[in-house]
Chains A and B, each alone.
Chain A
């Protein structure tokens, strides 16, 4: 074992010691979370961050400029195949490798990339989580206050936030398993703020194409309505829409839930041959699929597998009889 590994092991062991720290009051926690949620809409910055989801790691360059409340942004993947996203207010242009473009595009929820990971309504978050401050550390050369967001139940994962002391910007964020193992993380390795930001960085380097919103309406012949009873507390239905899955052809009904931090989708469709059932896990992302009569129900989210199972099992198809 190399010496360089020991600091990591030591810090891992010491992580258990901070649990005694007290939680912030709801009012104090709300002030901190609101600051984190607001910062990406107020702060101009540019930098490089790393994200790891499961075994998949990526480095992304970001430049985000806020002028008169309008967001202009460019993100570019620095590893693997070239990918680029340019935002100008609500308009988004993408450059993706051939065949990798999203199967359908819904602009309503697409400004939730790091460092904008929190919902605007932080009271939703504090219904399901508690917040505590643990330390002050340096990330990307600047001081960060470290906060732990602890779930009140086992239906969602703990998270850790490194918050730029000066602006409230998230410099690093992790999703932890219940054994405090890191399931997913985002972390700035380099950051420049405000006047240091070069506006030329907003210019795309690849031939980006404007994305056209594709919000499908219900197919003409829907023979079923869905009942969901006994869903885990704290999740709110944020929207429902019809969409095509990547690589798929038929329209699937998607219900998107959120608790202010974690999101979860329930996909509902007539059962196809080879519809997957059972559990699946990929980093912080879990899924549970089952078949109910003529329908397939699949719940997927950045939550423990048990939560996706509860969602999938809570949904029941109710056939709509002719004439109703």
Chain B
């Protein structure tokens, strides 16, 4: 019975990463993630692998809630645990998952330990000012379609590298 539940959750997880769940199902699954370490690890590895393969983050809504869930359970996302499991059970994915989980943990850690209020404001300003240069170059590169209203730099740009 327990195994069946796990399988069902894994099925749900896969659907979630493909963006096929409604918000109620997402909430239920996040509750399951918080109470089930192995499922959370699965989520990390899948999210990482599929992000790398598709070059994108699957579901922003999921990422936001997932980060919130992580904030309450910061310990479970140790990269060592993720990589050991991947190596033993899914050798095909292992190199991907290991490489990707490092990047993913980087993001998660940044979200789990947000900088002091003043620092985070600076990071946001830096995002905006950096973005102006990126957009200016894209315009010069022949792209008239840059929608500055729709494309907010937050999330697209890695804030960890900024300094003043």
Contacts and interface: CB of A to CB of B under 8 A. Distances in A.
Instruction: Please classify how large the interface on chain A is, using the bins under 10, 10 to 19, 20 to 34, 35 or more.
Output: 35 or more
A276 B147 contact: no
A56 B135 contact: no
A245 B133 contact: yes
B137 A99 contact: no
A247 B137 contact: no
Interface stretch (A2-10, A63-71, A161-169): A2-10
A81 B146 contact: no
B161 A106 contact: no
A246 B164 contact: no
A136 to B, nearest CB: 23
A300 interface: yes
27 contacts: A1-B90, A1-B93, A2-B18, A9-B96, A77-B145, A81-B150, A83-B145, A97-B149, A97-B150, A100-B146, A102-B139, A109-B141, A110-B144, A113-B143, A181-B55, A246-B135, A247-B132, A256-B140, A263-B140, A264-B137, A274-B125, A274-B126, A276-B162, A279-B161, A282-B156, A287-B130, A287-B134
Interface in B89-107: 90, 92-93, 96, 99
B24 interface: no
B138 interface: yes
Nearest to A99: B149
B151 interface: yes
A128 interface: no
B75 to A, nearest CB: 25
A181 B18 CA distance: 20
B133 A302 contact: no
Given A106-B140, A247-B148, A55 B130 contact: no
A102 B53 contact: no
A100 B149 CA distance: 6
A213 B38 CA distance: 59
Given A81-B149, A94-B144, A300-B133, A278 B55 contact: no
Given A55-B57, A181-B55, A182-B55, A289 B161 contact: no
Contacts of B23: none
B158 interface: yes
Given A1-B14, A113-B143, A247-B128, A278 B137 contact: no
Contacts of A246: 131-132, 135-136, 139, 146, 148
A11 B161 CA distance: 33
A112 B147 contact: no
A72 interface: no
Which of A81, A298, A301 has its CB near the most chain B CB atoms (within 10 A)?
A298
A267 interface: yes
Interface string A77-110: 1001101010000001010111110110010011
A100 B142 contact: no
Interface in A4-59: 5, 8-9, 12-13, 52, 54-58
A-B complex: 7 closest residue pairs judged by Cβ atoms: A112-B142, A300-B137, A245-B132, A265-B137, A279-B161, A100-B149, A276-B130
Contact of B136 (A2, A13, A265, A277): A265
Interface in A251-290: 252, 254, 256, 263-265, 267, 274-283, 285, 287, 289
Given A57-B56, A81-B147, A280 B134 contact: yes
B147 A100 contact: yes
Contacts of B129: 274-276
B93 A83 contact: no
Nearest to A286: B134
Contacts of A8: 53
Contacts of A254: 136, 140
Given A80-B147, A281-B157, 9 more contacts: A2-B18, A92-B144, A110-B142, A112-B142, A211-B144, A245-B133, A263-B137, A276-B129, A280-B161
Contacts of A77: 145, 147
A131 interface: no
A102 B144 contact: yes
A52 B57 CA distance: 12
